Amino acid sequence: MKKKLLYGPVTSRRLGLSLGIDAVPYKVCTLDCIYCQIGRTEKTTVERRDFGCADAIFTELASRLEDGLRADHITIGGSGEPTLNTEIGKIISGIRRMTDIPVAVLTNSTLLWDPVVQTALMNANVVLPSLDAADEHTFRRINRPHPDISFQRTVEGLVSFSGGFGGSVLLEVFLVDPLNTSERHLEKLKSLAERIGCDKIHLNTAVRPPAEGFVRPLEREALEAAARRIGDNAEVIAEFRDEKGSSRQAEKTLSESDLIGMLRRRPCTAADIAAGLGVEESAAQALAARLAADGRLEIRESGSETYYLSPVQSL
Ligand code: SF4
């Protein structure tokens, strides 16, 4: 069976109802972040490649649009770092020709220094880069980059890209206590965010099971205090809860393949699955529990929540 390159729409805390596009295979990435929700990077890389998926993405998207796709964004990201795909500019432009739904790109920022990558992303509507560290040492501890990636060049790339980009830049900062949460470090992050000139700063923490068991989530109060310290445009990314179902798809039958496909991208609670796939939470709970009992999913407790993980994320 051919691998599906589109998934969702799923509810995203940052982008509303978002149709995801996998632009690189699992798990092609320049980094090996200790908090990564989809597991460790076996071998980091900086080699940009044509993964030969652009036409397949356009074919799948055309079919979804014909079926009446409803989404707030089409988000290019997936199971690694999407700017490693040399076709990313072509994919963005192709989608923009096909639909008015805004195109968003998730990136870990490490290749934004490259003028070719910058040009490729210019046609996106929204770019969501991440930056978790304010110095090289912290960058290496949290993000465990490929040896050819330098912190300083990553920051300069972010500043340069943001200065020339006409769309929205929503910076994500993932806080890992105590590695980047001291007052001094938050002040340095604030200065860097000011230099980058992003529209929003989204603070996140390990509410879902991370790649490394020693990573602990910050309490909400600590995150909110960090947001106040960083500035007016900083906000905690709240867990998305779609109680009214206003942006939800119509209720539908939950299939095993949809559920497993969603969990391959990130660990989810039964409520996440319900909101993301437009089904009742009880149905999501029942199917996930059955698949876990069959050994096809893993259950992990994190904080007060129960998460379901696909075996590829099980560490
Ligand atoms: S969190 Fe993103 S950038 Fe970090 S290792 Fe995972 S996929 Fe790569």
pLDDT tens string 224-252: 999 999 999 999 984 623 344 333 333 34
| Average of per-residue pLDDT across 46-67 | 97
On whether the CB atoms of residues 9 and 247 are closer than 8 A, the answer is no
**Ligand 1 center from residue 39 Cα (angstroms):** 9
Domain with CATH 1.10.10.10 in the chain: 250-315
Domain with CATH 3.20.20.70 in the chain: 6-240
| Both structure tokens of 40 | 């460790």
Count CB neighbours of 221 within 10 A: 9
CATH class of the domain comprising 250-315: mainly alpha
Report percent pLDDT > 90 for the chain.
Answer: 65
Ligand 1: which of 26, 81, 264 to mutate, judged by most atoms within 8 Å of the beta carbon?
81
Please choose, from the candidates 102, 93, 108, the residue with its C-alpha nearest in 3D space to the C-alpha of residue 46. 108
CATH 3.20.20.70 assigned to 6-240: yes
Q: Specify the pairing of strand 168-174 against strand 6-12.
A: unpaired
241 or 137, which is more confident: 137
With cut-offs at 50, 70 and 90, classify the pLDDT of residue 298: confident
- Looking at residue 275, what is its pLDDT? 72
| Average of per-residue pLDDT across 129-138 | 98
Report percent pLDDT > 70 for the chain.
Answer: 92
On whether the CB atoms of residues 306 and 279 are closer than 8 A, the answer is no
- Looking at residue 151, what is its pLDDT? 98
Ligand 1: which of 24, 26, 35, 38 to mutate, judged by most atoms within 8 Å of the beta carbon?
38
Alpha-carbon span 202 to 215, nearest angstrom: 19
